[in-house]
Amino acid sequence: MAILLDGKALAKKIRIKVKSKVSKMPSPPGLAVVIVGDDPASRFYVDNKKKDCVKCGIVSHEFALPENVCEDKLMTLIHELNHRHDIHGILVQTPLPHGLNTQKIIQAISSNKDVDAFHMLNAGRVLYGEYGFVPCTPEGVITMLDHYNIDIKGKHAVVVGASNIVGKPMAMMLLHHHATVTVCHIHTVDLASFTRMADILVCAVGKINLITADMVKPGAVVIDVGINPKSDGTICGDVDFEAVSQVASYISPVPGGVGPMTRAILMQNTANAADMLN
């Protein structure tokens, strides 16, 4: 039976450290959270981030805009936030409604306040291993592996999913930790033949039960990044948790795994931003 990678408990430890760091600052860091429209999942994520801010002594400033907001107005808000001295981090909750150019808006955020590390400059820094802000989800995964003393060096890490915000930076960061990395995506032929080779398997797709027990090498470490809503209002990951737990050595649950870690790293990035900007 696999050992559970308890992201919830580890995230709490990180928040305590952030709170301690923040308490020594002359003024609290400010995080601007921009939400457009009334997507329930986005609202849920934003509310959780705001709760984390309170726990860490960070001031969250919410900017809720209607679904039909014009791009110019959103861009003007971003420019204002870039110049506000009480705002150290800016995040725009995605996905944005159709008609808004997500890339244009994200790239308008000052790279010094880009606590999600979605800006191309910060994404590029990840390629060079010179992190400004660390991308929250991949850093959450690396921190989790480190906390449980799971060696990355020399291991074969297989990342399923190749998005700009999770899969690609995840692969790059595992590479910097000296893993041999394979990246799989929608066009990968015979996904199972790759996942079965993984010592460390990270799945970040958004598809229920994509990873079944027969796709996992016995003793592998399995990290489930996926978040999928279920009909009963709860969420689950991409991995068939019950069956894969019988095969893996370590496994991260959903909820309570990578999600809380992602938010804790966001808090850490915001405190670091305040440190840099003050």
Contact positions toward ligand NAP, by CB under 6 A? 137, 160-163, 165-167, 184-186, 188, 191, 204-207, 210, 225-228, 258-259, 262
Q: With respect to ligand NAP, which residue has the nearer C-beta, 174 or 225? A: 225
Closer residue to ligand NAP, CB minimum distance, 89 or 259: 259
Q: How far apart, in whole angstroms, are the C-alpha atoms of residue 111 and residue 160?
A: 28
**In the complex, least distance from residue 236 CB atom to ligand NAP, rounded to whole angstroms:** 10
Name the minimum Å distance from CB 201 to ligand NAP.
Answer: 12
φ and ψ at 139, to 5 degrees?
-65, -35
93, 155, 224, 238: the active-site residue: 93
Give the Cα separation of 169 and 155 in Å (integer): 17
Closer CB to ligand NAP, 127 or 186, in the complex: 186
Out of 6, 21, 49, 155, pick the active-site residue: 49
Active site residue 116: yes
The least distance separating ligand NAP from the CB of residue 159, rounded to whole angstroms, comes to: 9
| Residue in 6, 52, 114, 116 annotated catalytic | 116
CB nearer ligand NAP, residue 28 or residue 255? 255
Active site residue 49: yes
Nearer to ligand NAP by C-beta: 77 or 145?
145
Tokens standing for residue 262: 């992602």
Reference 212, options 188, 169, 167, 247; nearest CA is 247
Q: How far is the CB of 169 from ligand NAP (least distance, A)?
A: 10
**Nearest distance from C-beta of residue 207 to ligand NAP, angstroms:** 6
Q: Which residues are catalytic?
A: 49, 93, 116
